[in-house]
Amino acid sequence: MKLDYPKSWIIQKVTALLFLLLLVFTLFSLSKVNLESHFEIVNWFSNFFNFISFSILFTSIVIHSKLGLNSIIDDYIHNNQIKKKILFLKNTFLITIYILVIGCLLHMVK
């Protein structure tokens, strides 16, 4: 889906705000967890609210990254064939990372 510039700009600002708020919550929440203990980390992610907030945080990071990289690629790459290849690789990479992280989290808490 191709977004026009104003919509992309608004979505990027909203994801940045979500990113900031959820990052502060996550860091504050994780400050009480012993990060060297696998059991405590799994226990933290087993909490539904923590799992959902981290998932939304990660989703907002991926969307924000996608939009930011699209903007940079559109501004600085002018050859359409190269631009399409770079966008395809970027999207493939972000989708792969997203699926791996969410899949690992789901596997960890089941």
> What is the CATH number for 30?
1.20.1300.10
Q: How many domains does the chain have?
A: 1
pLDDT score recorded for residue 109:
86
- Residue range 31-59, pLDDT digits in tens: 999 999 999 999 999 999 999 999 999 99
- Choose among 29, 23, 30: nearest CA to 64: 23
pLDDT score recorded for residue 2:
66
Runs of H (alpha helix) within 31-79: 38-46, 48-76
Which residues are CB-contacts of 75 (< 8 A; sequence separation ≥ 6)? none
Range of the domain at 61: 5-109
pLDDT score recorded for residue 98:
97
pTM: 0.89
- Residue range 54-107, pLDDT digits in tens: 999 999 999 999 999 999 999 999 999 999 999 999 999 999 999 999 999 999
